[in-house]
Amino acid sequence: MVLVKPAYHSHNTKNEVYLLNHQIMKIKNALLSATTALLVLCMVGCKNNNNQQASSNGTDMVAEGNPEVAEITGAPKVPAPVGKRSPKKLIVNLVTSEKEGIIADSIPYTFWTFNNTVPGSFIRVRVGDEITINLKNDANSVLPHNIDLHAVTGPGGGAVASSTVPGKETSFTFKAINSGLFVYHCAAPPVPMHIGNGMYGLILVEPEGGLPKVDREYYIMQGDFYTKASTIKKGVMEFDNDKAVAENPDYVLFNGKKGALLGANMIEAKVGETVRLFVGNGGPNLTSSFHVIGEIFDNVYLEGGSTISHNIQTTMIPAGGAAIVEFKCDVPGDYVLVDHSLSRAFNKGAIGKLRVSGEANPKVFNAKTVAKE
Ligand SMILES: [Cu+2]
């Protein structure tokens, strides 16, 4: 009996275990069904979200007509606003070059460029545009170059498709599906060296209907430069990899040259005008704390995207990022553009000026001071 009992009990236990397992299975199945239902709901929801985005992004927009060559400009100029036109097919012609230029004072440096300038040409399109990038690498180049546009959805932002040896040309086409202000740069190895030599620029993808009208627009791009005496050409400076790895630049510059926005090169506006700055940061390493001394940004398109913030004093622009800042000029005078990491501004070159001319506005700012006895 004693032996049977446990057997009976054992059998009973087996039944109980079976029932328990059966119940667990039922609960598991119920949970699985609930999870599946949730997943389906989520997928439907996500799809709806995507659809909502799709209605405002360019995936399904049709670019019509024959391809046209896009207007592109050197800094600080920008091409004409896109306005309310429908999506088009555009051709952007870029040439990569390795070119001697002046980095500061009378110091020559071997820059690597898009279209012979640092930063490279400003590209302006709208969401839904179909853009063909023709990238020609100058025959005098030593190295292959390419282009990675942050506005591209696709492998490497186009870098692999556009890898171009000296003297050759490559081509690829992409659809601008997200609006915003995007950095482009060379992504050929070693990437920090190509960027550190100046291979970056901005592409603006305007939303449907365009950006609101302003009176003045300018293109400014910050970059950090690491230099040493050239091993190839006496008196010319070239990229110093050790300083780059240590993130210790000799120069932090707006538009690739000390003084590019000073003296005869300063940007201008009049009292009462609205100014829009397209500000990018090529890096390769430093984050910019972009500030205009004596102004408050009425609008900042944060990180170049769709969120607009207001009443901003200083905006952070990451390496490989951008921002659109807008403000109204209320008071005449010189307004100093800086990276507010100020040693960079006052010791390494990240400084420029906006000259605002026009009538004084004592209601907003009164410079008259009463001499105290
Ligand atoms: Cu390159």
User: Could you identify the residue written with the tokens 């960027």?
Assistant: 195
pLDDT value of residue 57: 83
322 Cα: distance to centroid of ligand 1 (angstroms)? 20
What type of residue is 228?
Answer: K
Q: Cis peptide leading into 284, omega within 30 of 0?
A: yes
pLDDT digits (tens, 9 = 90+) for 3-12: 333 333 444 4
pLDDT digits (tens, 9 = 90+) for 242-266: 999 999 999 999 999 999 999 999 9
pLDDT digits (tens, 9 = 90+) for 108-143: 999 999 999 999 999 999 999 999 999 999 999 999
Lowest mean pLDDT among 21-25, 80-84, 299-303: 21-25
283 Cα: distance to centroid of ligand 1 (angstroms)? 14
What type of residue is 21?
Answer: N
197 Cα: distance to centroid of ligand 1 (angstroms)? 8
What residues form DSSP beta bridges with 278? Answer: 219, 324
How much of the chain exceeds pLDDT 70, in percent?
84
175 Cα: distance to centroid of ligand 1 (angstroms)? 23
- Taking the C-alpha atoms of residue 108 and residue 356, their distance in angstroms, rounded to an integer, is 32
How much of the chain exceeds pLDDT 90, in percent?
82
pLDDT value of residue 330: 98
**Phi and psi torsions of 5, nearest 5°:** -50, -50
239 Cα: distance to centroid of ligand 1 (angstroms)? 13
User: Is residue 130 a contact partner of residue 122, using CB atoms and an 8 Å limit?
Assistant: no
Q: Is the pLDDT of residue 51 over 50?
A: no
pLDDT value of residue 41: 39
CA 22 and chain centroid, separation: 57
User: Is residue 97 a contact partner of residue 120, using CB atoms and an 8 Å limit?
Assistant: no
pLDDT digits (tens, 9 = 90+) for 148-200: 999 999 999 999 999 999 999 999 999 999 999 999 999 999 999 999 999 99
User: Could you identify the residue written with the tokens 């050409």?
Assistant: 233
**Phi and psi torsions of 135, nearest 5°:** -110, 115
Q: Is the pLDDT of residue 298 over 80?
A: yes
Which residues have CB atoms below 5 A from the ion given as ligand 1? Answer: 145, 186, 188, 194, 199
What type of residue is 176?
Answer: A
- Taking the C-alpha atoms of residue 55 and residue 50, their distance in angstroms, rounded to an integer, is 9
Q: Is the pLDDT of residue 301 over 80?
A: yes
